[in-house]
Amino acid sequence: MERDILSDVLRGIRLRGAVFYDYGFGEEWAAEAPAAVEIAPLLLPGAEHVMEYHVLLRGGGWATVAGQPLVRLAEGDAVVLPHGDRHVLSSRPGLRPRAFDIAWACAHRHDPRPVPFNAIGDGGGQSPAQAPNRVVCGFLCCDMLPFNPLVAQLPALLHLAADPDSGWIAQTLRQAVQACEDVRPGNEAMLERISEMLFLHAVRNYLARLDPATVGWLAGLRDRRVGHALALLHASPARDWTLDELGRQVGLSRSALHGRFVELIGMPPMQYLARWRMQLASTLLRGTRANVASIALEVGYESEAAFTRAFKRAAGLPPAAWRRRGGAGCG
């Protein structure tokens, strides 16, 4: 069975959901969300990379990212912003949006999730559950260092239409939000897992519909020869690979493999292997008590000193300091 490379990377980058809002809007509405980089330090201190998502539980509308086509949203649709770009949600294009109230968000950042917000008039006496349009918004954070080949390859906006394959997302999230109205232990963890599932489903949906002419890491997964090479490197990262040996195993000459790999992945196979080893090492540093020397051996380095130098170049800190700090990520 071919190795599940996407799952390898998702495990390594520690995708985590955090902070959720339950919005209620009137018949005509528009809301602007700032770039994640602007609000992450306030809502998610320590997060290295923050993405946003929205699920339209009731009503209809549009999603807009500057420089990108408008996206029509129907009830049950979801959108994910992998790069955390500034964006607008509205009942129709062209409405002047209401700015995200950062002061309000900070004041309520420790409230039980999801935090309800009624944007109808001055309160309108309605909860989000009663509003004509209801949107659940959330934030996801992940690690970018030492190596995250996935996120940079994603578009500004991923749209999940509420078809039979993805309609379960809105239904599940709707039930989760309703359950959270009765504050009980485990509510936030439940929302976090659903958020992670939503992101994974959005990525898989994007991968399934990827234009054959597209280049990048995800395109490499779909390429028969490059995908095979990636699977071999992920399955045996500590092996003393050479380009000749890798080419023989995937049925290409070393020059053909090098050229195809660079064309799709953006770097030569051995450079990719070196960076993937650093990502594996970061996972071992966070999740085990193994010493640095044994981790170096496990990811393919015979010399602890050489491994330490390589890890510092990739992650910005020596392995021991990385471990003491707890790695990168949320909080």
If one counts every other C-beta atom within 10 angstroms of the C-beta of residue 205, the result is 18
pLDDT in tens, 86-118: 999 999 998 988 777 777 777 777 776 667 666
Neighbour-count burial of 111, counting CB atoms closer than 10 A to its CB (0-12 exposed, 13-18 middle, 19+ buried): exposed
227 to each of 4, 38, 240, 321, how far by Cα in Å? 10, 36, 19, 34
Asked if residues 86 and 66 have their Cβ atoms less than 8 Å apart, the reply is yes
Domain 218-325: assigned CATH number = 1.10.10.60
pLDDT score of 326: 74
Domain ranges of the chain: 12-208, 218-325
If one counts every other C-beta atom within 10 angstroms of the C-beta of residue 41, the result is 11
pLDDT in tens, 5-51: 999 998 888 888 777 888 889 899 999 988 888 888 877 888 889 99
Asked if residues 306 and 281 have their Cβ atoms less than 8 Å apart, the reply is no
190-204, 250-264, 300-314: lowest mean pLDDT where? 190-204
pLDDT score of 122: 42
Q: Which long-range contacts (CB under 8 A, 24 or more apart) does 210-217 make?
A: 215/263, 215/264, 215/266, 216/153, 216/264, 216/265, 216/266, 217/149, 217/150, 217/152, 217/153, 217/264, 217/265, 217/266
Rama region for 191: left / alpha / beta (φ>0; ψ in -120 to 50; rest):
alpha
CA 310 from centre of chain: 26
CA 167 from centre of chain: 20
CA 252 from centre of chain: 33
Distance separating alpha carbons of residues 30 and 290, to the nearest angstrom = 52
Summarize the confidence of residues 202-207 as an average pLDDT: 91
Domain at 12-208: CATH architecture = Sandwich (2.60)
pLDDT in tens, 132-164: 999 988 889 998 989 999 998 999 999 988 776
Within this chain, domains 12-208 and 218-325 share the same CATH topology: no
pLDDT score of 213: 87
